[in-house]
Amino acid sequence: MNSTKDSLFSNHEDIKKLLEIAYELNDIEKIGAVLGWDQETYMPKGGITGRANQLSTLAGIHHEKLTSDRLINAIDRASMTLGEANVYDRSLVRELRRIYDQAVKLPVEFVKRQTEVFSRADQSWQEAKEKSDFRLFADDLKEIVELVRKQAEYFGFTDSPYDALLDIYEPGLTSRKAAEIFKQVKVITGNILEKIEKSEVTINQDFLKRTGLSKKKQWDFGIDILKVMEFDFERGRQDESAHPFSTNFHPHDVRVTTRFTDPFFTSSLFGTIHEGGHGIYEQNVDERLARTVLCEGASLGIHESQSRFWENYVGRSLSFWALCYPELRKTFKRRLKNVSVNDFWRAINAVNPSYTRVEADEVTYNLHVLLRFEIEKDLIEGKIEVEDLPEIWNAKMKEYLGIVPPNDELGVLQDIHWSGGAFGYFPTYTMGNLYAAQMYYTIREKIPGMDAYIAEGNVKFITEFLIKNIYRYGKTFMPDEIILRLTGESLNPEYFEKYLEEKYSKVYKW
Amino acid sequence: MNSTKDSLFSNHEDIKKLLEIAYELNDIEKIGAVLGWDQETYMPKGGITGRANQLSTLAGIHHEKLTSDRLINAIDRASMTLGEANVYDRSLVRELRRIYDQAVKLPVEFVKRQTEVFSRADQSWQEAKEKSDFRLFADDLKEIVELVRKQAEYFGFTDSPYDALLDIYEPGLTSRKAAEIFKQVKVITGNILEKIEKSEVTINQDFLKRTGLSKKKQWDFGIDILKVMEFDFERGRQDESAHPFSTNFHPHDVRVTTRFTDPFFTSSLFGTIHEGGHGIYEQNVDERLARTVLCEGASLGIHESQSRFWENYVGRSLSFWALCYPELRKTFKRRLKNVSVNDFWRAINAVNPSYTRVEADEVTYNLHVLLRFEIEKDLIEGKIEVEDLPEIWNAKMKEYLGIVPPNDELGVLQDIHWSGGAFGYFPTYTMGNLYAAQMYYTIREKIPGMDAYIAEGNVKFITEFLIKNIYRYGKTFMPDEIILRLTGESLNPEYFEKYLEEKYSKVYKW
């Protein structure tokens, strides 16, 4: 039994049989998530060998069940009865077929080879990053690019092999569509940066960079902020990990993590809010979707839209800090003595080009993704070579951001994704930013006086709106459908432009 | 690949094939252990539904693999080549056949029914205990007794159905043997209690019962003690849970838990040492046994011998506190100001009959187990009825311990075991105590000056002796073999008598 409530799925025998298999498959995935969470939070150093074996055994079991005749037969049977089906049945069949197809298209030997190479590359990337020497990673990366191209072939594509990869992370996204979007984003960003450059406002960020803040005070404040966002600690928790992440084992068991960095805030606090955004999304998927492939965020892009919405549209707004700043100031009395809420708000919104994506402000952030998108596409299409990457990287940094990283660590080696073969993943970051902007204007339209509500501490109405329109459906709707249903139009980057203009004209006073 | 070191198993093709299956099976078990650990330590309240599903799916997969033809065929093939086999091969085959036999003897429908009833009984036992009303648990318990009798039939037995149950937890133990042992233990305990009663020593325990001690200080002191015992925090960790336990996912990933109770010590500190004893056993099984059924303690009794050895034979010895008391006194300055190390040692060894087993001192502890053994045997053999249990319980408490619990919560409902069908488990507690005594004298003989070493902080030599003679072998040897190999004779309760006499003649000065 999945839940005491009525099922969202129809009562057809073929759907019920399919659900039985779907539940088992999803349980196995969630078990893997528990193992992963433990590995990143509490597992002692010595545990790594055993954990690798456990994960590998579990992956084998999952793959066997996912590619079984039992599953595909049940999918096929259920497909034939879709005439009587509801939207949940249809989406269930669609998503199960999708993961089945992906799984059977890759030969077992190929998957094993991937696992080996990724595991080796994870080590060599780490070493290369530590020593800031791209050459230590180059050979493994070459092999990965070959594997990823091969994977694209297995999956199949029409225009570019990169399309097959984009589709893994953001169903429906193509190179052509992404290129159009990035073209717009580039213009938008350029315009805003020009205005900022002309501004005579100078923003003091020194007080954000002071070191030695009490970890406990930061932790407690972060927990309070998560509560403001309506993150439910009866159905989730926060722990520490080297890199913040969110994961879930059930809508009622969602785990987010944070880390503490000296100096202050930019990483820790906004990391907490960001993961909290992912977390409340997962906490509020309808529990009747639990144990199925539909019980998770609609796509990486839609997921990121929520983390970024909470981090930036709420978390870096003046009204949010009108609410939370008094408490923050009380917590860090000495440090924030002479800092007004306006000073603070300006400081957390200052725009400065940075070497790394994760430290980027809202305006320059997408340039990091654009750069990565162009490089990935050229690499997968065979237009550039792995050994030339540092040079190409630095040239593009110079062109788009006007700065050149002093070394590979802060340049081409900054992100982990490539070592795990995650090509096609980065564009979802920008998709998330754009979705978030478009949603933001819909919410403001539907809930007049939203800023005042936030300032009063009544953040609940935003969460409830998002639950009602996005969260509860999980993966029932495709990314495109979600944005269309919610905002009345397809993805439109102009909302992002409007948002940047509106916000930064206040920050930089033009 | 299991380890970079040479394998302990022989290189025969049939053994290698068997190991492949054994590894997968064991990985699944350890994955279950991770889920269980998380459930007891960090899982938020809301996680329970999802976790139950995950555990149930995992149990199904495990059962399917355990009862598969693939496994039994591999066992049979390996059995035929045992002529060329070493001790590890033989034990592997023996233990795999044992768990295979147990699994296939129980029909799938029966196991499902067990799971349902145990899950319901866990609730009703908790409620009954909270309300201290046995009647709320009686109906479920009746059903459990029926199921357990049925299970004994499925497993098969010669003399008593209780034999089949004992053998689950302590391979080789029978009712007849247990009855003989308990007869001796009863006499031994009676003699010691008589001497204690005659003693004119009165022991002040008041300072153990003061409340309001800093949790952090207790935690830190507990960690220090675990380090003294050579518990390796690179290959394990301690966390908090409602009921202390130890578990492991690999010899290099062993988790123990503790809890903090007001008042002081008796529960928290000795609980830490007790679980630490289980923990260092698991940490020191030869890692080349990892991922097999041999990679765990030899039996519950042998496991308990180690937790009790560390808790009582080391942890309640004068030499141990000669080492650790100065630090403890520094930690709790105000409370222990006027308490000498001798006062402290006497207080932690005082003998007073208690209502519950977990609070019992070393002398009266086994009477609690004896009482439970007699009741369980009679119940399973159909000589007494469930509804009469509270009365029988209280009568036996009066007879053996001279006190009658004021209510069922502190009486017949005190322990969780029955609600999970664990009949035949309790005797392993006493087996552990007796094994520990016998081992203790061997160690003292082999390492003259042992007490002085402890007092100097050189506890390592004990750990090393135990690793060399017990821990590293895991389940390779049967309980009987272990005790015979180590001490040169079979289990002999006289060592326990000798130990009690030696220790308590000092505590109570006769």
CB contact under 8 Å between A233 and B51, yes or no, is: no
Provide the number of CB pairs (under 8 Å) joining chain A to chain B.
124
Question: What whole-number distance in Å separates Cα of residue B436 and Cα of residue B265?
Answer: 22
Dist CA B460 CA B474 (whole Å): 20
* Tokens 């979802």, located at residue: A428
Judging contacts by C-beta atoms under 8 Å, the chain A residues touching residue B45 are 234-235
Q: So which residues of B are the catalytic ones?
A: 275
* pLDDT digits 0-9 by tens, B64-115: 999 999 999 999 999 998 887 899 999 999 999 999 999 999 998 999 899 8
Candidates A24, A28, A38, A286, partner chain B, best to mutate (most B CBs within 10 A): A38
Mean pLDDT (chain B) is 95
What does the alpha-carbon distance between residue A54 and residue A64 come to, in Å, rounded to a whole number?
15
- Assess A44–B contact: CB distance below 8 Å, yes or no: yes
Confidence (pLDDT) at B1: 40
Residue A23 has pLDDT above 90, yes or no: yes
Q: A103-117, A173-187, A259-273: lowest mean pLDDT where?
A: A259-273
B451 touches chain A (CB under 8 A): no
- The residue ranges of chain B whose pLDDT is under 50 are 1-4
CB contact under 8 A, A51 and B237: no
Q: Give the Cβ contact number of residue B416 at 10 Å.
A: 14
Q: What is the pLDDT of residues A430-477, one digit of tens each?
A: 999 999 999 999 999 999 999 999 999 999 999 999 999 999 999 999
Any long-range contacts for A401-406 (C-beta under 8 Å, 24+ apart)? Answer: A401/A353, A401/A354, A401/A364, A401/A367, A401/A368, A402/A353, A403/A353, A403/A355, A405/A355, A406/A355
pLDDT at position B236: 98
Task: List the 290-309 stretch of A: residues with Cβ below 8 A of B.
Answer: 290-291
Q: Rounded mean pLDDT of A330-354?
A: 94
The shortest C-alpha distance from B218 to chain A (Å) reads 20
Model pLDDT, residue A264: 65
> Three-state DSSP class for B250?
strand
Q: How confident is the model over B189-241, as pLDDT tens digits?
A: 999 999 999 999 999 999 988 788 888 999 999 999 999 999 999 999 999 99
DSSP structure class, residue A232? -
* Beta-carbon separation of B57 and A23 below 8 A: yes
Helix (H) or strand (E) holding A178: helix A175-198
Q: Is the pLDDT of residue A59 over 50?
A: yes
Of B30, B49, B60, the CB nearest to A54: B30
DSSP B396: H
Q: How many residues does chain B have?
A: 510
User: CA–CA separation, A500 vs A508, rounded Å?
Assistant: 11
Percent of chain A with pLDDT over 90: 90
Q: Is A64 known to be catalytic?
A: no
Residue A457 gets the label, from left (phi > 0), alpha (psi -120 to 50) or beta, of left
What would the pLDDT profile of B433-457 be if each residue is shown by its tens digit? 999 999 999 999 999 999 999 999 9
Q: Pick from B180, B182, B152, B150: which is nearest to B165 by CA?
A: B152
Chain B partners within 8 Å of A50 (Cβ): 30, 249-250, 252-253, 290-291
Selected residue of B1, B31, B280 to mutate for chain A interface (largest A Cβ count, 10 A): B31
How many angstroms away from the CA of B96 is the closest CA of chain A? 19
- Pairing of β B236-240 and β A253-258: unpaired
SS (H, E, C) B310-359: HHHHHCCCHHHHHHHHHHHHHHCCCCCCCCCHHHHHHHCCCCCCCCCHHH
Shortest Cα distance from B429 to chain A (angstroms)? 30
Best of B20, B45, B57 to disrupt the A interface by mutation (most A CBs within 10 Å)?
Answer: B57
Which chain B residues have a beta carbon less than 8 Å from that of A288? none
Residue of B nearest to A41 (CA): B42
Integer Cα distance of A377 and A423 in angstroms: 9
Q: pLDDT at residue A3 above 70?
A: no
Q: Say which of B50, B57, B291 has its CB closest to residue A250.
A: B50
Q: Does A63 touch chain B (CB under 8 A)?
A: no
Nearest CA in chain B to A289: B50
Distance from CA of B72 to the nearest CA of A (A): 20
pLDDT band at A261 (very low <50, low <70, confident <90, very high): confident
CB contact under 8 A, B27 and A57: yes
Q: Is the separation of the CB atoms in B275 and B246 below 8 Å? A: yes
Percent helix, strand and coil across chain B, each rounded to 5? Answer: 65, 5, 30
DSSP states of B399-425:
HHHS---SSSTTTTTS-SGGGGT-TT-
Question: Among B28, B42, B237, whose Cβ lies nearest the Cβ of A44?
Answer: B237
Query: pLDDT digit string (tens) for A396-435?
Result: 999 999 999 999 999 999 999 999 999 999 999 999 999 9
pLDDT (0 to 100) of residue B3: 43
Q: What is the mean pLDDT of residues A254-269?
A: 84
Residues in A closer than 8 angstroms to B291, CB to CB, are 50, 53
